[in-house]
Amino acid sequence: QVQLQESGPGLTKPSQTLSLSCTVSFGSITTNENYWWSWSRQPPGKGLEWLGGMSSSGTTYYNPSLKSRTSISRDTSKNYFTLRLSSVTPEDTAVYYCATWYGSGLRDWGQGTQVTVSS
C-alpha cells in the first residue's frame, strides 16, 4: 500500500553532490515502526547496489563501500526522505530507486529516476 516517488535533478556535475528526495504516500516514515526507508541504484549494465536506509526513528545504515560519501536524511513533517551522494564521478551514473524494507527484504519501490553525472 505504501507508495514512493523519487525526485531530483537528472544531471549532476562531477565532484558535486547528487541530491534526491523520496516522497512517501499511504505510510509514515516515523510511525511505520517496522519499516526502513532505503535507497538503491543500478548503473547501466550492472546489478542493483544498495546504498543505505533510515529507520522510523531516524537511525541510518549505509553500504560500507559508499558510506563516506552517502548521507540519508528526512523531513518528518513533510514525510519524505533524501539521498545525498557527494564527490560524484561518471561511475555514479545510474537509475536511483527509493524503496521500503520490511519482512524479508525490499518491498515497495519508487519508479526510479535516471541520474547522469557529466560536465
Residue 5 and residue 23: Cα distance in Å, rounded? 5
Q: What is the pLDDT of residue 1?
A: 81
List, run by run, the mean pLDDT of 10-residue segments along the chain (119 residues).
95 98 96 93 97 96 97 97 98 98 92 97
Q: What is the pLDDT of residue 51?
A: 98
Q: Are strands 11-12 and 94-102 parallel, antiparallel or unpaired?
A: unpaired
Q: What is the pLDDT of residue 20?
A: 98
Residues 6+ apart with CB under 8 A from 118: 11, 13, 14, 90, 93
Q: What is the pLDDT of residue 103?
A: 84
Q: What is the pLDDT of residue 33?
A: 86
Residue 31 and residue 52: Cα distance in Å, rounded? 20
